[in-house]
Structure 1
Amino acid sequence: MNDWSPRTRAVAAGRPSGPGEPLNTPIVATSTYVAGGGFTYARESGTPTWVALEDAVGALEGGHATAFASGIGAIAAAFELFPIGAEVAVPTFSYSGTRGLLQHAEKQGRFKVRQLDPEDTPAWQAAADEVDVLWIESPTNPTLHLIDIAPLTGRRAKVVVDNTFATPLAQQPLALGADIVVHSATKLIGGHSDLLLGITIAADETLAQELRDARTRNGATPGALEAWLALRGLRTMPVRLAEQSKTAALLAERLSAHEAVTRVSYPGQGMMIAFELADAPAAERFIAGLELIVHATSLGGVESLVERRGMYALETHVPPGLIRFSVGLEDPEDLWRDLARALGQPSS
Structure 2
Amino acid sequence: MDLDDWSPRTRAVVAGRPQAEGEPLNTPLTPASNFHAGTERAYSREDGTPGWEAFEDALGVLEGGNATAFASGMAATAAVLDLLPVGAHVAVPVYSYAGTRGLLDHAAGTGRLKVTRVEPDDTEHWLRAADEVDLVWLESPTNPTLDVIDIAAVARGRAQLVVDNTFATPLGQQPLALGADVVVHSATKLIGGHSDLLLGVTVTRDGGLAQRLRDTRTRNGATPGALEAFLALRGLRTLPVRLAEASATAALLAERLAGHPAVRRVRYPGSGTMIAFELADGAAADRACRGFQLIQHATSLGGVESSVERRAALAGDSHVPAGLIRFSVGLEDPEDLWRDLERTLS
Q: Name the TM tier (shorter chain).
A: over 0.9
Instruction: Look up the match of 2:58.
Output: 56
Name the structure 1 match of 2:208: 206
The offset of 1:3, in angstroms, is 2.6
Q: Residues of 1 paired with 2:118 and 2:195: CA distance?
A: 31
Deviations 1:68-102 (A, max 9, x none): 00000000001011111010000000000000000
Gaps of 5+ in 1: none
Aligned match of 2:83: 81
Match of 2:309 in 1: 307
**What is aligned with 1:268?**
270
Q: Hey, what's the Cα distance between the residues in 2 that align with 1:129 and 1:3? A: 37
Distance 2:108 2:181 in 1: 23
1:63 deviates by: 0.4
SS, match of residue 292 in structure 1: coil
Q: Distance in 1 between matches of 2:241 and 2:29?
A: 24
Q: Please name the residue that 1:100 is paired with.
A: 102
Is 1:289–1:341's contact at 8 Å kept on the other side of the alignment? no
**Pairwise CA distance, 1:308:** 0.2
The residue number in structure 1 matching 2:222 is 220
Aligned equivalents of 1:56, 1:284: Cα separation in 2: 40
Instruction: Provide the rounded CA distance (Å) in 2 between the counterparts of 1:113 and 1:223.
Output: 32
SS at match of 2:69: strand
| Match in the other structure for 1:233 | 235
> Take 2:255 and 2:157, find their aligned partners in 1: how far apart are those partners?
38
Report the Cα offset of residue 155 of structure 1: 2.5
TM-score between the two structures when normalised by the length of structure 2:
0.99
Amino acid at match of 2:82: E
Alpha-carbon shift at residue 296 of structure 1 (Å): 0.3
Q: How does 1:120-135 map to 2 (within 5 A)?
A: 120-135=122-137
Within 1, Cα distance between the matches of 2:290 and 2:54? 42
Match of 2:30 among 28, 31, 37: 28
Hey, what's the Cα distance between the residues in 2 that align with 1:152 and 1:285? Answer: 39
Residue pair 2:187, 2:232 contacting (<8 A) in 1 also:
yes
Q: What is the root-mean-square deviation in Å for CA atoms of aligned residues?
A: 0.6
Question: Counterpart of 2:180?
Answer: 178
Tell me the amino acid that sits aligned with residue 117 of structure 1: E
Secondary structure at 1:201's aligned position in 2?
Answer: strand
C-alpha deviation, 1:38, in angstroms: 2.6
Check conservation: 1:87, 1:112, Cα contact below 8 A.
yes
Q: For residues 288 and 159 of structure 1, what CA distance do their matches in structure 2 show?
A: 39
Q: Which runs of 5+ in 2 are unaligned?
A: none
Aligned equivalents of 2:40 and 2:169: distance in 1?
Answer: 31
Superposition misfits of 4+ residues, deviation over 3 angstroms: none
CA shift for structure 1 position 62: 0.4
Q: Do the aligned partners of 1:310 and 1:322 also contact (CA within 8 Å) in 2?
A: yes
Identity of aligned residues (%): 70
Aligned residues of 1:165 and 1:272 also touching (Cα < 8 A): yes
| Contact 2:308–2:326 (Cα < 8 Å) also in 1 | yes
Distance in 2 between the 1:26 and 1:275 partners? 42
